[in-house]
Amino acid sequence: MRVIIVGSGAAAASAHDAILSSEVRATVTLISRESDEPYSKVALPKYISGQVDRAKAFLARPAATRPDTGDARPEFTQLLGTTVVSIDRAARTVLATGPTGRAEVPYEALILAVGATPSHRFGQPVWTLDDADRVKALVTEGKTAAVTGGGFLGLHMATALIRAGMKVTVFERERQILPGRTPPRFADFLETCMRKWGASVHTAALIDSVRKAGDTWEVSVQVRGHAPETTGFDLCLDCTGMSPDVALARDAGLRVCDRGILVDTSQRTSDPSILAAGDCAAVAHTSGESRSAGLWHHASVQGKVAGLVAVGVPAETPPSTGWHTFAVSCEGMAGTADSVPAMPRVACSFGDLVPREGDRVLESGEPGGDYRYAVVRGHRVSGYFQATEPSGLGGLIERLGETAAGLDLSVAGYPGPFSVITAPQALAPDPGTGKVMVKGRKE
Ligand SMILES: Cc1cc2nc3c(=O)[nH]c(=O)nc-3n(C[C@H](O)[C@H](O)[C@H](O)COP(=O)(O)OP(=O)(O)OC[C@H]3O[C@@H](n4cnc5c(N)ncnc54)[C@H](O)[C@@H]3O)c2cc1C
């Protein structure tokens, strides 16, 4: 069996591992346009802040022989710095261009693990290790940095820059940071924490333009409908979002939508010999929509399924309820017990947190204490959020119907005023009904 994996991120690495761990004899070719060995994007903020060395970003490489039997692993070729420019589905080949020119590479199964493309409109993106090298070279203690976008990535990067001693300003277009990811009150609480930790945070701040003039980034912003004002920064990071990379699949005639390459529960695209996994794939969600999760753990789980299915081993990705499930740690924030209460905090959420007309919102506790929030649509809990102390997270997830196995809950490993830990399988739905257990009731 000849398998090509396009990409070298979480989904690609996990697909490769799954093929190696299967008993199937396969020849694997991994093609990535990046010239670096496969690495973890999750490590980039820590690399930029100086908490870890560049070397720590690289993923462990599979051994050349099987540890159990000592047998040679299936043949593996890695073409780095090489871009797949097209797929010929009839001939089952991909056209790749790289340092040695153009080549047609044949496949029996093809795995697209091509990730997503960041916006490049509002500053320097921080999406690849190359980007991180570029940003790191500009990080200087005492200098100013703007971060456009107050979502997960923006806050993660703001934290990294604060740690590195920069004076950070965050601009978020919506009326709260983490829009759609946290209830407004918890977002306000986090914003206060970010401020106490030294960041300036502007919400309802619409970026008009970002321009590089010499060494200065000129950021023009309309705050709360006022006329645009331009401020110069020593660095400006674009964290305004990313879109699933569907171009290769679309040009090959596969079914795609703006939320990703459409796949079934076995990660198969509309062509059964081509699979897609990770940020590029739109997978089934319990809400009925298909969408890309944009998170590391999801990419790994989907990559594993794609790898197994590519070599003929049946596997399925469970419908995702967890694309919203995450934890934040506010550990390490400056502040006294009364100014920043009950630190550190973690939070876990799933579903749709933005109420629609006619929904009921249930809220209890304080964001600095044990805080819960639920959106109830008809008789169904459509979104749930809870913040607690780190040691409470395991219990929280268990209460929500999770077998905590396999989750990385090591909050201590993610210090900083804001960092993201994914616990995406935390809310696996009941396989019989596809519904999620909340507080002992099936909704
Ligand atoms: C700075 C940063 C921090 C993050 N932190 C977290 C976090 O804390 N928790 C979390 O869960 N998630 C985090 N994420 C998101 C997470 O890293 C992604 O969800 C995950 O990397 C997706 O993996 P992937 O394999 O789908 O795609 P990627 O890792 O993006 O890999 C795709 C690869 O395919 C290559 N490629 C694309 N097109 C082609 C082509 N035509 N030919 C050849 N190669 C191609 C790309 O160059 C890239 O190397 C973070 C992301 C960033 C950028």
Share of the chain above pLDDT 70, in %: 76
Residue nearest to atom 39 of ligand 1 (CA): 114
Would the pLDDT of 332 be above 80?
no
Cβ(113) – ligand 1 distance below 6 Å: yes
What pLDDT is stored for residue 391 in this prediction? 56
Would the pLDDT of 420 be above 80?
no
Q: Which residues have a Cβ under 8 Å from the Cβ of 244 and sit 6 or more positions away?
A: 116, 258, 259, 260, 261, 279, 280, 281, 282, 292
Best CA proximity match to 175, nearest among 164, 186, 166, 184: 184
Mutate to test the pocket of ligand 1, among 296, 317, 323, 349 (most ligand atoms within 8 A of CB): 296
Cβ(235) – ligand 1 distance below 6 Å: no
Q: What's the 87 CA to ligand 1 centre distance in angstroms?
A: 21
Would the pLDDT of 214 be above 70?
yes
Would the pLDDT of 319 be above 90?
no
Q: What's the 349 CA to ligand 1 centre distance in angstroms?
A: 22
Give the atom of ligand 1 at the shortest distance from the alpha carbon of 419: 8
Domains of the chain: 2-118+242-310 (3.50.50.60), 124-238 (3.50.50.60), 322-442 (no CATH)
Would the pLDDT of 227 be above 50?
yes
pLDDT digits (tens, 9 = 90+) for 123-155: 999 999 999 999 999 999 999 999 999 988 898
What pLDDT is stored for residue 396 in this prediction? 52
Cβ(375) – ligand 1 distance below 6 Å: no
Q: Are 65 and 71 in contact (CB under 8 A)?
A: yes
Q: Which residues have a Cβ under 8 Å from the Cβ of 19 and sit 6 or more positions away?
A: 3, 26, 28, 74, 307, 308, 310, 311
Cβ(42) – ligand 1 distance below 6 Å: yes
Report the distance separating Cα 304 and Cα 342, nearest Å. Answer: 39
Q: Are 282 and 260 in contact (CB under 8 A)?
A: yes
What pLDDT is stored for residue 67 in this prediction? 59
What pLDDT is stored for residue 196 in this prediction? 78
Cβ(83) – ligand 1 distance below 6 Å: yes
Residue nearest to atom 30 of ligand 1 (CA): 115
Would the pLDDT of 437 be above 80?
no
Could you give the 3-state DSSP secondary structure of residue 113?
Answer: coil
Q: What's the 113 CA to ligand 1 centre distance in angstroms?
A: 9
pLDDT digits (tens, 9 = 90+) for 179-201: 988 899 989 988 887 887 788 99
Eight-state DSSP code of residue 432: T
Would the pLDDT of 336 be above 50?
no
Q: What's the 355 CA to ligand 1 centre distance in angstroms?
A: 30
Q: Which residues have a Cβ under 8 Å from the Cβ of 220 and sit 6 or more positions away?
A: 207, 208, 209, 210, 211, 228, 229, 230
Would the pLDDT of 442 be above 80?
no
Give the atom of ligand 1 at the shortest distance from the alpha carbon of 281: 26
Residue nearest to atom 38 of ligand 1 (CA): 114
Would the pLDDT of 251 be above 90?
yes
Q: What's the 127 CA to ligand 1 centre distance in angstroms?
A: 7
Best CA proximity match to 117, nearest among 262, 245, 10: 245
Cβ(46) – ligand 1 distance below 6 Å: no
Sign of the CA dihedral running 353, 358, 362, 367? positive
Q: What's the 383 CA to ligand 1 centre distance in angstroms?
A: 27
What pLDDT is stored for residue 236 in this prediction? 97
Look over the chain and give the mean of its residue pLDDT values, rounded to a whole number: 80
- Between 267 and 292, name the one with better pLDDT: 267
Give the atom of ligand 1 at the shortest distance from the alpha carbon of 302: 26
